[in-house]
Structure 1
Amino acid sequence: MNKELLVQSHRPYPLPDMNWMMTQEWHHTLFVHWPVPLSSLKEHVPRELQIDTFEGCAWIGIVPFQVKNTRGRFTPLIPGVSSYLEVNVRTYVKYGGRTGVYFFSLDANHLLAVLGAKAVFGLNYKQANIRFEEQNHFEMTSTRVQASAGIAKVELRYIPETQVFFAEPGTLEHWLTERYCLWTKRGSKLIRGDIHHTRWELQRAQAEISQEMLIPFLHQEYLTQQPLLHYTKYKKAFFWPPKLEK
């Protein structure tokens, strides 16, 4: 059994009562978060979901990372398919007593990953040209490929600046990061995807960020304030089959 699955005391609810279907690793993850008015998100989130807030404020995040070693439960790694780069845009929601994540968009530089995630989870994946460089800092640039998908560009240069820590329950950092399911809509149906990983080993970070229309529905003035920045070097995650919500 994978050692990560033995660590469950941090979870707000139990693991699903079925086998996981996929695992992957996330490397050099950066969490970029801004507080935004609840009203700015409402019409862009499925009406079945309640936007989650922290002390009355909604939050939106840009999260870039490397994906590595993706594989199914009973399948080996496939060279050229198991690793790619991703930049997602997300907010935080609640449904049926659970807290989780809602993705506005997910840009990836691997066509099969884009098509597979759309087919299995119905997530709003877009193909993008993404470049990642690791020096004494990390740099990622992403430009969406199809003009019909909307212009979307982001450039990030980031580096961790503190020691590793675990966010304490009740803090904003814990609220933003410790999420163990996602929701999406497939037609008129609300779908939940459960995930599992150990607690986030966070480091506060510095970053230079430039983005163009990555979040087109949001007044860009909200994104000119200094964001809250956190970095994680590595995390292994497990995914369960999508489940239709009642």
Structure 2
Amino acid sequence: MYHRWSWITFLHWRCPPSVLQPMLPPGLAVETFDGSAWVGLTPFLMQGVRAPALPAVPGLSSFPETNVRTYVQDRRGRPGIWFLSLDAARLPAVLAARASYGLPYYWANMAVRVTGNQVAYRCERRWPGPRGLRCDVEVRLGPPLSETERDELAHFLTARYRLFTVIAGRVAAAEAEHPDWPLCQVELLRLDQDLLAGAGLPAPVGAPVLHASAGVPVRVGMWHWLEGP
């Protein structure tokens, strides 16, 4: 699939690896940084969604999405994303992603509003349950990150080029290709969410680590089963 991930905000919290490991299938292990696992909340706007050799379909190809995710490695040490939930505003996209990639997508009422340098995200889950889970986020975008601000943690949390899933009872992966994120400074103005609790996670502790970007074009390949046992 081809698309663009636009106006994305990354919110991350530390989480004990012992909390996340039981949520993973055999063959995947929590990946840590500075001794901690990390849980991410990433609202953004999906644009221009299309299959190869097909045009984007008006009314279906652009919609908000919000992911709850963590970071893992397979048995060969290859890093990637494990999604705990993905909320999207288009039911056909939700059904297609559940059927084709086995991802835990949910249909939700959502909106992304960009006003000058401020971005507001709204999400309220519709189907499948539990209904009513929410995520309201507002941020103010600042100047681009300097080279020193684009540190190892920023790379660990945002530079992810593989997703893992389970297809027919086996762990599979799909590769994501995109340019480096043009990250910028970001100020959190509002956060009201229970998507993390809905994914079975404990309440986050402290302020999140924040990054944001105007977006990049993305190509996600077809899934493939991992090699070996």
Question: TM-score surpassing 0.5?
Answer: yes
AA partner of residue 115 (structure 2): Q
CA RMSD of aligned residues (A): 1.8
Residue equivalent to 2:187:
206
Residue equivalent to 1:141:
122
Q: 1:115 aligns with which of 95, 99, 118?
A: 95
Matched, 1:218 2:209: no
Aligned-pair identity in percent equals: 31
Range with greater deviation from structure 2 (229-238 or 160-169): 160-169
CA contact (8 A) 2:80 2:160 kept: yes
Residue equivalent to 2:157:
176
CA contact (8 A) 1:165 1:202 kept: no
Q: 1:100 aligns with which of 65, 80, 85?
A: 80
Task: Point out where structure 1 has 5 or more consecutive residues left out of the alignment.
Answer: 1-21
Aligned residues: 223
SS across alignment from 2:197:
coil
CA distance in 1, matches of 2:95, 2:148: 34
What is the Cα deviation at residue 169 of structure 1? 8.3
AA partner of residue 225 (structure 2): L
CA contact (8 A) 1:167 1:173 kept: no
AA partner of residue 173 (structure 2): R
AA partner of residue 215 (structure 1): A
What is the Cα deviation at residue 111 of structure 1? 0.5
Task: Point out where structure 2 has 5 or more consecutive residues left out of the alignment.
Answer: none
CA distance in 2, matches of 1:195, 1:152: 28
CA contact (8 A) 2:68 2:195 kept: no
AA partner of residue 201 (structure 2): L
CA contact (8 A) 2:85 2:104 kept: yes
AA partner of residue 140 (structure 2): I
Distance 1:148 1:93, change over 3 A: same
Residue equivalent to 1:64:
43
Q: Deviations over 1:137-169 (max 9, x none)?
A: 111110100363454211000121232446888
Distance 1:115 1:92, change over 3 A: same
CA contact (8 A) 2:72 2:80 kept: yes
CA contact (8 A) 1:167 1:174 kept: no
Counterparts of 1:5-154 in structure 2, within 5 Å, are 22-95=1-74, 96-136=76-116, 137-146=118-127, 148-154=129-135
Distance 1:187 1:24, change over 3 A: same
AA partner of residue 203 (structure 1): C
What is the Cα deviation at residue 126 of structure 1? 0.3
